[in-house]
Structure 1
Amino acid sequence: MNGTSFQQDIRYWLRQGNTVNHLLFWNIVIFLAFNIVRLIDTITHSGIFAWTYDQFALHSSITVFITKPWGLFTYMFSHVGVLHILFNMLNLFWFGNIFREMLGNQRVLPVYLMGGIAGGLAYLLSYYILFQHSDGLMLGASASVMCILVAAATQVPDYEIGLMFIGSIRLKWLAMALVIIGIITMFDGNFGGVIAHLGGASFGFAYIKLLQNGTDLAQPLIWLFNTRERRAAKPVVKKFKPKKSPLKIVKKADENTQSRLDQLLDKINEKGYQSLSAEEKAWLEKVSKEN
Structure 2
Amino acid sequence: MNILDDLKLQYKLGGIANRLIYWNVACFLISLLFFYQFQAGSFAYPSWILLSTSPEDFIYNPWTFLTYAFFHDGFWHLVFNMIVLNFSSQLFLTFFNQKQFLGLYLLSAVFAGIVFVTTYYLMNISAPIVGASAAIMAILVAVTTYQPLMQVRLLLVGNVKLWHITAVLLILDLMQLRLENMGGHISHLAGAFFGFVYIKVLQNGTDMSLLITRIIDFFVNSFRKSPSTPFKKVHKNYSRQPVEKRASRIVTKDKVQQQIDEILDKISQSGYDSLTKEEKDFLFKSGK
TM range (shorter): 0.7 to 0.9
Superposed displacement of residue 158, structure 1: 1.5
Any conservation in 2 of the 1:123–1:196 contact (CA below 8 Å)? yes
- Residue identity matched to 1:148: I
Q: Aligned match of 2:25 in 25, 28, 31?
A: 28
Which amino acid counterpart does residue 75 of structure 1 have in structure 2? Y
2:34 — aligned with what? Answer: 37
Structure 1 42/174 Cα, relative in aligned 2: closer, same or farther at 3 Å?
closer
- 2:83 paired residue number: 90
* Matched AA of 1:74: T
Deviations 1:216-238 (A, max 9, x none): 011122233358x969xxx9997
Equivalent residues in 2 for 1:22-171, closer than 5 Å: 22-38=19-35, 41-42=37-38, 50=44, 52-131=45-124, 134-171=125-162
Amino acid at match of 2:81: N
Task: Give the structure 1 partner of residue 167 of structure 2.
Answer: 176
1:223 to 194, 197, 214: 214
CA distance in 2, matches of 1:42, 1:191: 26
- Give, in whole Å, the separation in 2 of the partners of 1:203 and 1:49: 29
The alpha carbon displacement at 1:204 in A equals: 0.3
**2:177 alignment counterpart:** 186
Q: Which moved more, 1:142-151 or 1:100-109?
A: 100-109
1:182 and 1:10 map into 2 onto residues whose CA distance is 34
Structure showing greater relative contact order (alpha-carbon pairs closer than 8 Å, 6 or more residues apart): 2
- Structure 2: gaps spanning 5 or more residues: 235-288
2:200 to 206, 209, 225: 209
Which shows bigger deviation, 163-172 or 179-188? 163-172
Amino acid at match of 2:54: S
Whole-Å separation in 1 of the counterparts to 2:137 and 2:203: 19
Contact 1:119/1:197 (CA < 8 Å) preserved in 2? yes
Cα–Cα, structure 1 residues 86 and 49, in superposed 2: closer, same or farther, change >3 Å? closer
Q: Find the counterpart in structure 2 of residue 285 from structure 1.
A: none
Aligned to 2:285: none
Residue identity matched to 2:32? N
> Is residue 2:4 matched to residue 1:7?
yes
Pair 1:113–1:188, CA change in 2 (3 A):
same
CA distance in 2, matches of 1:49, 1:160: 39
Distance 2:121 2:61 in 1: 16
User: Which amino acid letter does the alignment assign opposite residue 67 of structure 2?
Assistant: T
Q: Which residue of 2 aligns with 1:282?
A: none
Kindly state the Cα deviation for residue 54 of structure 1 after the two structures are TM-superposed: 3.4
Give the deviation of 1:146 after TM superposition.
0.3
**Change over 3 Å in CA distance of 1:103–1:128 after alignment to 2:** same
Query: How far is 1:38 from its partner?
Result: 4.6
Q: Is the 8 A contact 2:141 2:196 kept in 1?
A: yes
Partners of 1:238 and 1:213 in 2: how far apart? 44
Larger-gyration structure (1/2) = 1
Q: Deviations over 1:16-65 (max 9, x none)?
A: 151001100010011111122355x437x9xx963x44331100122332
Unaligned runs of 5+ in 1: 244-291
What is the CA–CA distance in structure 2 between the aligned matches of 1:26 and 1:236, rounded to whole Å?
31
Number of residue pairs the alignment of both structures matches = 229
Output the CA distance in 1 between the equivalents of 2:163 and 2:230.
56
- The aligned amino acid for 1:28 is V
* Alignment map for 1:193-272 (pairs within 5 Å): 193-225=184-216
Q: CA RMSD in A?
A: 2.7
TM (norm. structure 2) is 0.72
Structure 1 length normalisation: TM-score?
0.71
Instruction: Determine helix, strand or coil for the equivalent of 1:187.
Output: coil
